[in-house]
Chains A and B, each alone.
Chain A
Amino acid sequence: MSFPWAKNYEPVNPVMKFMDEKLPLPRLVYNAVGAGYPVPRNLSYFWNFGILAGFCLVLQIVTGVVLAMHYAANSGIAFNSVEHIMRDVNWGWMLRYMHANGASFFFLVIYIHIFRGFFYSSYKAPREMIWLLGVVIFLLTMATAFMGYVLPWGQMSFWGAKVITGLFSAIPLVGEPIQIWLLGGFAPDNAALNRFFSLHFMLPFVILGVVILHIWALHIPGSSNPTGVEVKQESDTVPFHPYYTAKDGFGLGVFLLIYFAFVFFFPNTLGHPDNYIEANPLSTPAHIVPEWYFYPFYAILRAFTFDFIIEAKLWGVLAMFSSILVWFFLPWLDKSPVRSGHYRPMFRKFFWFGLIPCMAVLFYCGGAPAEEPYVMISQIATAYYFLHFLVILPIISSIERPEPLPFSITEAVLGSDDSAVIEPAAKAAE
């Protein structure tokens, strides 16, 4: 679907005409990311991150497929095959650093994309399905990243696999059999490594499929925008090409500069030195932490240290999964009719001074050792996290008095909108 004023695809070249009749793929591209797709004229650089996430996915698939040509998923030689990639394979060091740092940057981009969604309430009607699919993509990406981190078979790989599969052992009665079934043994070993490799190779293509659904669902209502006011007229939009192909291209250039600065100059800064020690089932590293992008959720997992009806360990596991599952309910927890945080004074305060510091604290505590005062700080931050989504957001949306919205995107951009004068009743109503 698109707006009525969208440009129609009219092939001139006979080859393109032939193609359009037999397989209208160029038409699809034209209507999806070409001149045939009108987009709000006021999108900020925060709207670059969807494209950037898509770019990261392709980057990970391309570098991952070639790494798989040299990697051996066998616990006896996996560690050495990674060193073989680093030292012997032509450009192997670069491909591996691109893949490892690509994962970090993928998550950085996704987090900005998600928090953009939080601030501008991108999850609200009519875009609920886009949001739900996005949360599914995030969960799949987390699973893929976790299994990928196990493959080098270093100390962090091994103990990460042990701790994360150990989470399932917290499930009452069936927990331990489930853990053994997941690992194919009593501890991570060759069976686990092989299945993780298989799934790590397959899941990105599942993600790609859900991404296509995500974009399909997006193209029905079209993108939201920083005002949160829906598109009313042609003057509110510009064609995707050349306007946003150019803007996204510029954003991609900036992204690549930062990304390659890490790949070439700080390739191991985001990793852990312990993972350059081969997995040893008989010795645990003193300080086990996941990759940085899982810190906030790891902090929530460890925040539960007291038994209350059920074991502390199970509380931690439930809380960690719930902290993401709660996002599925956001479209119905936040009932405010106004989307953009720019026009919601109370929501805005809780976003900048509540949710953001809370996430920063959880992030910090997730990487810190599990001792006081970090445990207590994690507990307070975890409590706020759930309060924010389950209590504060619903209350705000019912008591808050939003600031006046512009009549249209055009008015927000140009300061006035001629069509606003024609519809004074509509303006008065807002």
Chain B
Amino acid sequence: MASTGTADAHSEEVGVASEDGVRRRDFIEIAAVSAAGVGGLACLLPLVSQMAPSADVLAESSTELDISALEEGQSIKAVFRKQPVFVRHLTPAEIEAADAVDVGSLRDPQTLQERTEDGHHNILVVMGVCTHLGCVPLGAAEGENKGEFGGYFCPCHGSHYDTAARIRKGPAPKNLEVPTYEFTTDTTIVIG
């Protein structure tokens, strides 16, 4: 800068443009506005992020279940992430009914084998949340309507699920969701 001589000494003053129209003040203006912009955006992060599930909500996101008392043909309703989970001990007849279906004809093609754990194909674990608009289907408790296919029936908008909890009739787009779970012992399941 010093080498530009006395003629340019004037342009060293903040408000005066140099030959290419750039003023020294331009830098500080752009820097200030950018800093304010980045700072403003950074402020959004906590404001948006605070709405996501908090640590205590996430801490509840696994559930341990003892199914040793679950007899063939029985179901239990458990709670996982504040939502119902259905665990059903399938009877041989129910397994047979599920296997008899042509998988290709299903709206959401899946076999019972794909929907259960190896070695425990008679234990069906699904979320009790209808894939249409989130109602709780009937069929887990004794005496409840199991729908036309002997599985679950959602009374809100009439979705019928079969014994493998696959959607067979009604507006729901998907089979009842199988949550992530594992058998920690032969009679204990940990969901989540």
- A residues contacting B by CB (< 8 A) are 159, 162-163, 166, 180-182, 184-187, 189, 191, 195, 281-284, 286-288, 302, 305, 307, 311-313, 370-371
Contact = CB atoms under 8 A, between A and B. Distances in A.
B52 A163 contact: no
30 contacts: A159-B135, A162-B133, A162-B134, A162-B135, A163-B133, A166-B133, A181-B51, A182-B51, A184-B54, A184-B57, A185-B57, A185-B81, A186-B53, A186-B61, A187-B81, A187-B82, A191-B57, A281-B82, A281-B84, A282-B77, A286-B156, A287-B155, A287-B156, A288-B135, A305-B171, A311-B173, A313-B132, A313-B133, A313-B173, A370-B171
B84 A282 contact: yes
Nearest to B78: A282
Interface residues of B, number: 25
Contacts, number: 75
Interface string B155-176: 1111000000000000101000
A184 B51 contact: yes
A281 B153 CA distance: 17
A186 B82 contact: yes
Contacts of B158: 370-371
A312 B171 contact: yes
B53 A282 contact: no
Nearest to B172: A313
Nearest to A183: B53
Contacts of B79: 281-282
B136 interface: yes
A163 B134 contact: yes
B132 A181 contact: no
Given A166-B134, A181-B52, A312-B171, A186 B81 contact: yes
Contacts of B173: 307, 311-313
A305 B171 CA distance: 6
B83 interface: yes
B55 to A, nearest CB: 12
Interface string B49-84: 001111001000100000000000000010101111
Interface of A (DSSP majority class): loop
A93 B154 CA distance: 36
B83 A184 contact: no
Contacts of A181: 51-52
Contact of A191 (B53, B134, B155): B53
B77 A302 contact: no
A56 to B, nearest CB: 30
B82 A180 contact: no
A-B pairs, top 10 by smallest CB distance, nearest first, are: A186-B81, A284-B135, A370-B157, A187-B82, A166-B134, A284-B136, A185-B57, A163-B133, A162-B134, A286-B155
A45 B138 CA distance: 51
Contacts of B134: 159, 162-163, 166
A173 B167 CA distance: 21
B156 A284 contact: yes
Contacts of B82: 185-187, 189, 281
A195 B50 CA distance: 11
B171 A180 contact: no
